Amino acid sequence: MNVSVPKETASGERRVALVPEVVERLGRSGIEVTIEAGAGAEAHYPDADYEQAGAKLGDGYSGQVVAKVAPPSAEEIGRLQRGSVLIGFLAPLTAVDTVRGLAEAGVTSFAMEAIPRISRAQSMDALSSQATVAGYRAAQIAAQELPRFFPMLTTAAGTVRPAKVLVLGAGVAGLQAIATTRRLGAIVQAFDVRSAVKEQIESLGARFLELDMGLEDAEAAGGYARPLTDEEQQRQRELLAEEIGKMDAVISTAAVPGRRAPLLVTEQAVKNMSPGSVIVDLAAETGGNCELTEAGETVVKEDVTIIGPVNLASSMPDHASSLYARNVQSLLGLMAGEEGELKLDFDDEVIAGACITRDGQIVHEGARQAAGVTA
Ligand code: NAD
């Protein structure tokens, strides 16, 4: 099969879908790569490195398979050939126009977000690889913006107490934020509605924040959280407001797939924080975990700095791209026959589960519902 990789055009997108190291490995399994000139430049992968790894420079949309990072724009969909295969983040539950456009263009599309989170598909899990980058970065931003030290210091000028950090949501990004803030020496607490993560939080040297919510466990299918009821959410916000007041920094990562992020940090909670405190809201893109977050902005309210980063993974484009490329490589491996030829097995649960559009139709159940397609 031949795979082409275009230069990403979405604003602020610095990642690239394949990196030279992966191009070389694909070549060994009979998969040829064509890369658009400059596609890797913002992630610090020069064209010459791709050529040395065996890629050709050329049209990023001409391959049997097109590998991308960000969801395609209407213009990019227009460049895809009918019958071609597209791999990338497609936001299938929210980007309704994109999904409709791909179906109409006759593209067989696979969303990285829709790859089933089963053990066999772990190496393809781009949500996890990119959330790892985002969680790490969020911890650094919190440390950078806080006008205080993270670690405890004993100096000739006296002792500095360590910062207290609360991480809300202990999924992949949250756990990485916990690990990174711990390494920087902060005292870290974390909360999640899935009780299964308590042990993971503790194994990273943080404390699980016990909230008396009367909640047994909110784990739903696929290991994700279920949405809380209005009463549960209200209770959570009230209990958290008090705890947040004791923190120097809050890193919030709580999410429920396909929905607005749960609102966890109220204006009152922000008021309860001491002057100079920091909130890094990783859920900014999906509405924010904090009431005062503005996506893509840094705002100061009540002398608390509230940062709402978008596409944080793209701010570390080298490693974010290299991990993403390995995810794509694994998926391509599943799409290839023995000679590296394109061979899509729709009986395979990973291939079937990740497929969003095929033969002019939206075939993914969640995407069909989002697009209002009836049976
Ligand atoms: P996510 O980004 O959807 O959500 C982030 C976190 O927010 C989750 O831990 C969720 O429980 C939490 N959350 C939701 N509502 C909340 C609320 N009201 N208050 C506090 N926290 C709230 O999740 P994710 O990081 O993509 O993954 C979640 C889980 O999926 C993992 O921890 C794991 O169990 C599973 N997973 C499985 C695999 C695999 O087997 N291949 C890979 C990755 C993740």
Closest-lying ligand 1 atom to the alpha carbon of residue 228: 18
- Find the residues whose C-beta lies inside 6 A of ligand 1: 117, 119, 122, 125, 127-128, 131, 168-174, 191-194, 223-225, 228, 236, 253-257, 262, 264
Question: What is the pLDDT, as a whole number, of residue 130?
Answer: 98
Residue 6's identity, in one-letter code, is P
Look at strands 355-358 and 361-362 and give their pairing: antiparallel
**Residues belonging to the active site:** 117, 122, 125, 128, 224
Ligand 1 atom closest to the CA of 255, numbered from 1:
4
Instruction: State the distance from the centre of ligand 1 to the C-alpha of 223, rounded, in angstroms.
Output: 7
Bridge partners of residue 26, in order along the sequence: none
pLDDT at 196: 87
The distance of Cα 83 from the centroid of its chain, to the nearest Å, equals: 28
Strand order in 164-168's β-sheet?
Answer: 207-208, 187-191, 164-168, 249-252, 278-281, 304-307, 298-301
The two structure tokens encoding residue 157: 């000028």
pLDDT for 329: 98
Q: Give the model's pLDDT for residue 47.
A: 98
Q: What is the pLDDT of residue 258?
A: 80
CA of 90 to the centre of ligand 1 (A): 19
Please give the distance, rounded to the nearest whole angstrom, from the Cα atom of residue 224 to the centre of ligand 1: 5
Which pLDDT score, from 0 to 100, does residue 113 have?
96
Interior angle at CA 128, CA 124 and CA 129, nearest 5: 75
Q: Report the share of the chain in percent with pLDDT over 70.
A: 99
* Contacts (Cβ under 8 Å, ≥6 apart) of 19: 40, 43, 45, 321, 322, 325
Residues 6+ apart with CB under 8 A from 282: 134, 135, 138, 169, 173, 177, 251, 252, 253, 289, 309, 312
Block means of pLDDT (10 residues each) for the chain, 375 residues, are: 98 97 97 98 98 98 97 98 98 96 98 96 98 98 98 97 98 98 98 92 96 75 78 91 97 91 96 98 97 98 97 98 98 96 97 98 96 85
Partners of 252 in the beta sheet?
Answer: 168, 281
DSSP strand pairing (304-307 vs 298-301): antiparallel
Query: Is 280 within 8 Å of 252 (Cβ atoms)?
Result: yes
Three-state secondary-structure class, residue 84: coil
